[in-house]
Amino acid sequence: MREILPTLSEWYTARVPFGLATVVAVSRSAPRDPGAAMAVGPGDEAVGSVSGGCVEGAVFELAQEVVETGEARLETFGYSDEDAFAVGLTCGGEITLLVRPVTQETDPGFAAVAESVAAGRPVTVATVTDGPARIGATLAVWPDEVSGTLGSTGLDVAVTADARGELAQGATGLRHYGPHGERREDAVTVFLHSFAPPPRLLVFGAIDYAAAVARIGSFLGYRVTVCDARPVFATPKRFPDAVEVIVDWPHRYLQGTDTDERTVICVLTHDPKFDVPLLEEALRRPAAYIGAMGSRRTHDDRMKRLLDAGLTETELSRLRSPVGLDLGARTPEEVAVSVAAEVVALRWGGTGTPLTATGGAIHPST
């Protein structure tokens, strides 16, 4: 959804109705996660994807229909053994889509949501997908305000509380309520789509490997910062894919920077005077991934220095060093791929084993 929002905002501002299809539930080996979106606008222009190509043709027609009728629809697509040529997912999974018309009249809060997402301000959009409430009704929930209604004050109150909880976790999914927000009932189904700010990727060391890591980090959706104490190397021109380039001592910059459980920290300086104080700070704060570049000899020396600095074995166990998976990488770009692969594997519990040597679901439930 983030990728297509600029186009949707243009259509919305121009008062052009468009059909918006959003994945609200998946099962088995579905190709896209909840929140993936596709829209059809003026001149039958289509943007986004909900299945990687399997059902986009059918969704295109559905989006046109909901614009014409003004009525939202909930549709499920799966694989049909009886008719292999029927519209469905050849991967064997199943996806459920909410397809709804979007105009300034039907969704007056859309512009504010789009602006918040673009500015990195957290917001959750709650949309009714099933039940006695109006399908397609939306409620936008920020940490300190709300906009819109799902049709019932009690439902709005209950969903607002849950939406803020989901937003704090960056979570997206379905919730069930009674007609007036009653707990432990399932008359009304609501899709909570959280737009938390992008996770951060902090890259320390303004070297060619850092430029490659910054590029792939930006591609993966991270907000990238490159930091180095040497102003001659830490320049925006050398790092066009970084959101920001900071000239400062790495440990000092990190001390004044917020991190959370989604933050990725890559230490590429491989110089003890930078590495040790930086890692001493990094390993004692929240982060999803902390990796450091260097040879095995550099790693052994660094570990000894960190032990001498007072870090515990538990704290040191968080360090991924030497950084990256064993891909046989040589060039900066290849090394960046190996680092990104390790970050993704750690995030989702992957093993790094070739899929040809594994069994079971390719996309396990999370």
CA dist., res. 316 & res. 174, Å (int): 38
Q: How far apart are CA 43 and CA 64, in angstroms?
A: 11
Looking at residue 31, what is its pLDDT?
64
- Separation between Cα atoms, residue 59 and residue 77, nearest integer Å: 10
Sheet of 73-78: strand order equals: 46-48, 37-40, 18-27, 94-102, 73-78
Taking CA atoms, 134 is separated from 51, 72, 102, 125, in Å, by 26, 9, 14, 15
For residues 62 and 50, give the distance between their C-alpha atoms in angstroms, rounded to a whole number.
Answer: 13
Helix axes 332-348, 208-219, angle to 10 degrees: 40
- In angstroms, the CA 45 to CA 67 distance is 13
DSSP 364: -
User: From CA 136, how far away is CA 63, in angstroms rounded?
Assistant: 13
Tell me if 162 sits within 8 A of 155, measured CB to CB: no
Q: Which of 203, 270, 294, 269 is nearest to 241 (CA)?
A: 203
The angle formed by the CA atoms of residues 102, 106 and 111, to the nearest 5 degrees, is 65
Residue 358 confidence (pLDDT): 85
Closest CA to 293 of 256, 255, 332: 332
- CB of 137 closer than 8 Å to CB of 150: yes
pLDDT in tens, the chain (366 residues): 888 999 999 999 999 999 999 999 987 666 678 999 999 999 999 999 987 767 888 899 999 999 999 999 999 887 554 443 344 445 557 889 999 999 999 999 999 999 999 888 999 999 999 999 899 999 999 999 999 999 999 999 999 999 998 887 778 999 999 999 998 898 999 999 999 888 899 999 999 999 999 999 999 989 999 999 999 999 999 998 878 999 999 999 999 999 999 999 999 988 889 999 999 999 999 999 999 999 999 999 999 999 999 999 999 999 999 999 999 999 999 999 999 999 999 988 889 899 898 887 766 554
